[in-house]
Amino acid sequence: MSIQTCFHCGLTISKNDLLLFDDKEFCCNGCKTVYEIFSSNNLDGYYDFEKAPGATPLDIQGKYDFLDNDNITSKILDFNEEHTAIVSLTIPHIHCSSCIWILENLQKLQSGITLSQVNFPEKKVRINYNSQQTTLKEIVYLLSSIGYEPYISLDNYESGKKSQNRSLIYKLGVAFFCFGNIMLLSFPEYFEVNEYWLDNYKPFFRSLIFLLSLPSLLYSASDYYVSAYKSLKSKILNIDVPIALGIIVMFLRSTFDIIMDYGSGFFDSLTGLIFFMLLGKMFQIKTYSFLSFERDFKSYFPIAITRIRANKEESVPVYDIEKGNRLLIRNQELIPVDGILISENTEIDYSFVTGEAIPISKKSGDKIFAGGKQIGKVIEMEVLHSVSQSYLTQLWGNAVFQKEVEQKYQTLTDKLSHYFTPILLLIAFLGFGFWIFKNVTTAFNVFTAVLIVACPCALALTAPFTFGNILRILGKKQFYLKNALVIEQLAKVDTIVFDKTGTLTSNKKSKISYEGKLLSSLQLQLLKNIVHASNHPINRMLYDFLPESDRISVTSFEEITGKGILATIENIPFKLGSADFVLGIPDSNAIQTTLHIEINNEYYGKYLFKNEYREGLSSLFQQLNKKYNLKVLSGDNEGDKDTLVSIMPSETTFNFHQKPEQKLEFIKKLQEQGHNVMMVGDGLNDAGALAQSNVGIAVSENVNVFSPACDAILDANRLKNLNNFLNLSHKATKIIKMSFVISLLYNVVGLSFALTGNLLPLVAAIIMPLSTITIVSFVTLMSNYYAKANLE
Amino acid sequence: MSVIYLLIAISIVIAIGFFIAFIIAVKSGQYDDDYTPSVRMLFDDELQSTPNKTKQSNQEK
């Protein structure tokens, strides 16, 4: 029999779990139920677009009870008046056309929903519904029951409706409108042959051109004036200074020309220039809507939590929690505040915070920190600090997160402009000084012509097109950059700091080894069946590690939170768990995670779990070591040091037991020594270091899940290619330098026209687009070539 | 009045018309999501009914 996959979710079905329904195979009841819902509503079409598109619905009993609270729902809703309400929900599972189809047919599944619309790139669905007939809670339950559980976090609570910034599109539209019409209207004059007809209508054409140039000049180009003004104020000459100067001089000279009837002016070049530069700006912006580079703890934290007051449970917004409150945390719920455990014991998974996959067990009276995920039975806890004062969230009080830096560093283009602008002015004045003794009019003409022709349009386009292209290429390789400036920063990096847990190690897989008496194959089979019944991450890992076996039913099974499992199978009692639980002695080796096995009251041995390092690390480090200082920071103990030393080059330095603030300080210190630091991290505990570093890269197993605020998100499988990405960034700056030379050559040609007083509008109208096209095609070809050479 | 004024006026008016159409399109959010509509138009308007489907009870092997 060939391998069977679930008709709904596509997972391989193990033999014993197979469910048949409607001649189709399902892996579990959840998937089958979703199919039943769809087929009974004539929505089978779901399975036509994509093979096995679904997700298994998870148990969400009680998880969304807070949606009964009107205060909370009103914060989530986009719009709510009388009977109509609109809500936008983020659904991480949206991934194919089947998803769009089913989510846009929601009204067939639930009355009251009037319209639902998917925004695929953002993984969002916008639902309009009648609040009399249905509630938000019902909709969320419906979505969850068909495998599309929405992601509602504290972020939804505050932001409300975000308005999109579309001003660049408007500006581009205006610029193109002006440019196109002016081009058409100025065409006759390009072939000026003192014809009666042309002469007759010249003033009309020219005044129309003048009017058409105004919106482009005043609206589309407004960003350049603002930026130039700001840079002059801070006494830096960025590239926008000569651009703004060129634009203004061009406009004044052209207006003067047509008023005095000297010529047709440079309005065509002027609007063309503005249009091309905005196009470059547009191209440089490549957004990955489904990713966010600005997340803080709010994206992780729940919006509401269950509070116990006078023996009654109530849902309260997380911000309303006060010190001394008693909270109820269910299985898989996130702990939003620091507190003390009241229930007997539990296990807390801090993988969100530290990247460490193996949960930590806590006893009654232990302190538990915000950010952990509770695993096990429902627990009660007492609050010690409110949300904003909790250990983890305090990190966001640090200054790094407060300042809004528009542009942290001087770009390559601005550096060049620093020399370009004074030289340009010098040439303009020299030309003016030379001509003024011969002819005053020509002197003014030369002066303005220099500023016009040297307006660094091609120069300003170089970086956007190179970086825009490279941004797209890297995005295809699962290296998502926040913006184009990051590429330049990557090229400047000289020190790379790695976080260990979750970054260098994988938190999905563990290296498992066994020490002790050999287990027979029957015992292994039985063991596999026992751990199958448990949801504990360690048991899941062991389950995946043990060889395939037939299903044998477990007679009795008891999981003791924080300790282990007691089970009987085929009349053989099994006891697995911590050393304390199985042997009755505290664990001698606290550094490693172990699972001890006792069968039939006889101690057999223990399984050892070690972090598994990602593939290709040692070769990556060998490559990186040639050019960079490498450092490793870890929040963990030194248990792994030997393994690390063996894969890292000998120059690498290690720091263990690093708290989030210490990581941040570490980066700061390196920067104070004059280093350009790149931080590669993953968890929330790296958030400070990522923000402080010159380039912060978040490594993520699944880029659709949330990663902390950073400059770039890298798919974990691509970590081994990091060196190639860095090489490409060096090549990008090289390309830019080369094309600077080309565009300067064009400037020399243009200046020779300008200085001899021969710059006709036609010449300007040819040189400007020509240089732009040359530069754009040059950088596109070069960056594609280098990408091929480096990344394949 | 020469015909050129009329022609130019017409051409400018048409251009402005298209420009306004563009602005309206941006405003209504058509440029915010350039992927979903391309998929959406391929869906059938009405759901196909699937008659004669005998529902089997679920069997566990």
Handedness of CA A192, A198, A200, A201 (dihedral sign): negative
What would the two tokens of residue A572 be?
């053989």
Helices A240-260 and A267-284 sit at what angle, rounded to 10 degrees?
Answer: 160
Strand spans (E) along A561-682: 564-569, 572-577, 593-599, 602-613, 629-633, 653-655, 677-681
Report pLDDT for A778.
92
Residue A385's φ and ψ, nearest 5 degrees, are: -130, 155
- Put simply, the chain A residues between 697 and 736 with a CB less than 8 A from any chain B CB are none
The string over A445-460, giving b where at least 16 C-beta atoms fall within 10 Å of a residue's C-beta and e elsewhere, is bbbbbbbbbbbbbbbb
Q: How confident is the model at residue A450 (pLDDT cuts 50, 70, 90)?
A: confident
Distance (Å, whole) CA A610 – CA B52? 56
Mean pLDDT of A137-164: 75
What does the pLDDT look like over A69-110, one tens digit per residue? 777 788 788 888 888 888 888 888 888 888 888 888 888 888
Write the single-letter amino acid at A141.
Y
Chain A residues within 8 A of B58 when measuring between CB atoms: 19-21, 32
* Residue A169, C-beta contacts closer than 8 angstroms, at least 6 positions apart: A282, B26, B31
Q: How confident is the model at residue A653 (pLDDT cuts 50, 70, 90)?
A: confident
Q: For residue A583, count other CB atoms closer than 10 A to its CB.
A: 16
Name beta bridge partners: A479: A714
Q: Which of A45, A119, A204 sits opposite B36 (nearest CB)?
A: A119
B60–A19 C-beta distance less than 8 A? yes
Distance (Å, whole) CA B36 – CA B34? 6
Distance (Å, whole) CA A341 – CA A119? 42
Q: How many residues does chain A have?
A: 792
Q: How confident is the model at residue B53 (pLDDT cuts 50, 70, 90)?
A: very low
Is pLDDT above 70 for A318? Answer: yes
Question: How would you classify residue A310: left for phi > 0, otherwise alpha for psi between -120 and 50, otherwise beta?
Answer: left
Distance (Å, whole) CA A313 – CA A296? 29
B5–A204 C-beta distance less than 8 A? yes
A507-613 placed in CATH 3.40.1110.10: yes
Q: How confident is the model at residue A587 (pLDDT cuts 50, 70, 90)?
A: low
Is pLDDT above 80 for A15? Answer: no
Q: Which of B15, B26, B44 sits opposite A181 (nearest CB)?
A: B15
What does the pLDDT look like over A268-308, one tens digit per residue? 889 998 999 898 888 887 767 667 676 667 777 777 888 88
What would the two tokens of residue A466 be?
């190179």
Superfamily of domain A478-505+615-726: HAD superfamily/HAD-like (3.40.50.1000)
Q: Report strand pairing: A677-681 vs A695-700.
A: parallel
Which CA distances in Å does A422 have to A428, A623, A789? 10, 42, 38
Q: How confident is the model at residue B60 (pLDDT cuts 50, 70, 90)?
A: very low
What does the pLDDT look like over A217-256, one tens digit per residue? 999 999 999 989 988 888 878 888 888 988 998 899 899 9
Name beta bridge partners: A253: none
What would the two tokens of residue A99 be?
């998803």
Interface probe for B, chosen from A107, A119, A165, A168 (most Cβ of B below 10 Å), is: A119
Which CA distances in Å does A359 have to A47, A374, A501, A592? 38, 9, 14, 13
What does the pLDDT look like over A379-399, one tens digit per residue? 888 888 887 777 777 777 666
Which CA distances in Å does A520 have to A517, A526, A568, A638? 10, 10, 17, 35
Q: For residue A145, count other CB atoms closer than 10 A to its CB.
A: 17
Name the burial class of residue A187, with classes exposed (0-12), middle (13-18) and buried (19+) by CB atoms within 10 angstroms of its CB: exposed
Average pLDDT, chain A: 82
Structural fold of domain A1-55: Ribosomal Protein L24e; Chain: T; (2.30.170)
Report pLDDT for A93.
82
Give the residue from A28, A17, A92 showing the smallest Cα distance to A56.
A28
Most confident of A101-105, A603-607, A727-731: A727-731
A19–B59 C-beta distance less than 8 A? yes
Handedness of CA A447, A451, A452, A453 (dihedral sign): positive
For tokens 């703004």, name the residue. A244
What does the pLDDT look like over A497-528, one tens digit per residue? 998 877 888 766 667 888 888 888 888 888 88
HEC readout, A374-435: EECCCEEEEECCCHHHCCCHHHHHCHHHHCCCCCCCCCHHHHHHHHHHHHHHHHHHHHHHHH
Is pLDDT above 50 for B55? Answer: no
DSSP, res A502? I
User: Considering the entire predicted model, what is its pTM?
Assistant: 0.78
Is pLDDT above 60 for A542? Answer: yes
Structural fold of domain A65-152: Alpha-Beta Plaits (3.30.70)
B31–A121 C-beta distance less than 8 A? no
For tokens 């402080």, name the residue. A692
Cβ atoms of A377 and A561 closer than 8 Å:
yes
**Residue B14 touches partner A, C-beta closer than 8 Å:** no
ipTM: 0.76
B12–A181 C-beta distance less than 8 A? yes
Please give the residue that has the higher pLDDT: either A19 or A492.
A492
What would the two tokens of residue A376 be?
């096990």
Report pLDDT for A455.
76
Q: Which of B8, B32, B40 sits opposite A104 (nearest CB)?
A: B40
- Put simply, the chain A residues between 335 and 354 with a CB less than 8 A from any chain B CB are none
Distance (Å, whole) CA A327 – CA A341? 10
**Residue A181 touches partner B, C-beta closer than 8 Å:** yes
What would the two tokens of residue A172 be?
């581009």
A45–B39 C-beta distance less than 8 A? no
* Residue A620, C-beta contacts closer than 8 angstroms, at least 6 positions apart: A719, A720, A722, A723
The answer to which of A9-13, A459-463, A740-744 has the lowest mean pLDDT is: A9-13
Is pLDDT above 80 for A640? Answer: no
A177–B15 C-beta distance less than 8 A? yes
Ordered DSSP codes for A5-71: B-TTT-PBPPGGG-EEETTEEESSHHHHHHHHHHHHTT-TTHHHHSSS---PPPP-TTTTGGGG-HH
Please give the residue that has the higher pLDDT: either A65 or A216.
A216
Q: Report strand pairing: B59-60 vs A19-21.
A: antiparallel
Chain B residues within 8 A of A117 when measuring between CB atoms: 36
Cβ atoms of A317 and A304 closer than 8 Å:
yes
What ranges do the domains of chain B cover? 1-29
**Residue B50 touches partner A, C-beta closer than 8 Å:** yes
* Residue A271, C-beta contacts closer than 8 angstroms, at least 6 positions apart: A175, A178, A179, A182, A212, A213, A216, A217
> Where is A446: in which H helix or E strand?
helix A440-453
The string over A704-720, giving b where at least 16 C-beta atoms fall within 10 Å of a residue's C-beta and e elsewhere, is eebbbbbbbbbbbeebb
What would the two tokens of residue B59 be?
């069997």
How far apart are the CA of A15 and the nearest CA of chain B, in angstroms? 9
* Residue A156, C-beta contacts closer than 8 angstroms, at least 6 positions apart: A75, A76, A303
Please give the residue that has the higher pLDDT: either A706 or A360.
A360
Question: How would you classify residue A371: left for phi > 0, otherwise alpha for psi between -120 and 50, otherwise beta?
Answer: left
> What's the CATH architecture for A302-335+337-389?
Distorted Sandwich (2.70)
Strand order in the sheet with A373-375: A360-363, A345-349, A373-375
Name beta bridge partners: A678: A496, A695
Q: Which of A19, A97, A177 sits opposite B39 (nearest CB)?
A: A97
Cβ atoms of A706 and A300 closer than 8 Å:
yes
Question: What percentage of residues in chain A have a pLDDT greater than 70?
Answer: 91
Cβ atoms of A443 and A436 closer than 8 Å:
yes
Chain A residues within 8 A of B23 when measuring between CB atoms: 170, 173
